[in-house]
Amino acid sequence: MNEAADILLRYGPLIVLAVTMAWLAIATRRTSSLIGGRAYGFGTSLRQRLARVLFAASIVGAVVALGAHATRYASPLFSPLAGEAAGIRLAGLALAVAGQGLTLFAQGDMGRRWRVGVPESAPDALVTTGLFGLSRNPVFLGMLAMGGGFAVAVPSPAVIGCAVAFWIACEIQIRDEERFLQHSFGPAYLDYRSAVRRWI
């Protein structure tokens, strides 16, 4: 592996994750200000508590694991598994960057309707245009592409475990959000759901 590729693979994943986290935190704060309430909040059900714990654990775990990789902390938990070619690992980083772009653009498409978790009350309208006309969950799709890309770029047990935990959290959250949107928007959501696939 040449030096440039080594630097990209050491620091790139952590930078991509940090930028995405910062952007989404700012967007959530901005949306909270626009709506005069909280844009962040998970429900109190056992499923929502599980989703929140899995999201938090996977994100914090990924920061720790990618940070340990960047600093070359020697531990089997944080070290990439042997045998994966540099070209494949760089392709994983490219997938993570593509996922980041999708996440940020899709979040932008939501505007003031951006929410994290299942809100107490529904936004004023469904978002069904832009990227949401192609996928019902482009933000989650982008985030899952990031997680998968990280797991390929830095195939350590810790990063792979975080990607799996994040995927499970997404599956729980999407189904809870679908029930919430169906209850809130009724036939309009059912029409949207029948016209647009959950993923792609």
For every residue of 118-171, DSSP letters joined together read --SS--SS---SGGGGT-S-HHHHHHHHHHHHHHHHS--HHHHHHHHHHHHHHH
**Region 117-140 average pLDDT:** 89
Mean pLDDT to the nearest integer, 107-117: 87
Mapping DSSP to helix (H, G, I), strand (E, B) and coil, where does residue 7 land?
A: helix
H-helix or E-strand spanning residue 46? helix 46-70
**pLDDT at position 116:** 87
Task: Give the pLDDT score at 118.
Answer: 83
pLDDT at 164: 98
Inter-helix orientation angle 86-110/3-35, to 10°? 10
CB atoms under 10 Å from CB of 16, counted, come to 20
The answer, yes or no, to whether residue 176 has pLDDT greater than 80, is yes
CB neighbour list of residue 14: distance below 8 Å, 6 or more residues apart? 63, 66, 67, 69, 70
pLDDT of 74: 83
Contact predicate 67/14, CB 8 Å: yes
Give pLDDT, residue 82: 75
pLDDT at residue 83 greater than cutoff 80: no
What's the CA gap between 118 and 173, in Å, rounded?
8
Give, in order, the Cα–Cα distances in Å from 143 to each of 92, 123, 170.
Answer: 13, 22, 9
pLDDT over 90 (residue 77): yes
Question: In the CATH hierarchy, which fold is given to the domain comprising 3-115+124-195?
Answer: Four Helix Bundle (Hemerythrin (Met), subunit A) (1.20.120)
| 150, 36 Cβ separation under 8 angstroms | no
Digit-coded pLDDT (tens) for 178-194: 999 999 999 999 999 99
- Whether residue 45 is predicted with pLDDT greater than 70 in this model: the reply is yes
Q: How many other C-beta atoms are found inside a 10 Å radius of the C-beta of residue 111?
A: 14
Does residue 1 have a pLDDT over 80? Answer: no
Instruction: Return the pLDDT at 149.
Output: 98
Q: Is the pTM of this model over 0.85?
A: yes
Averaged confidence pLDDT in the chain: 93
In 10 A of CB 165, how many CB atoms? 20
Alpha-carbon gap, residue 197 to 193, rounded angstroms? 7
Lowest mean pLDDT among 1-15, 51-65, 151-165: 1-15
Structure tokens at 96: 């993570």
Please give the pLDDT value at position 35: 86
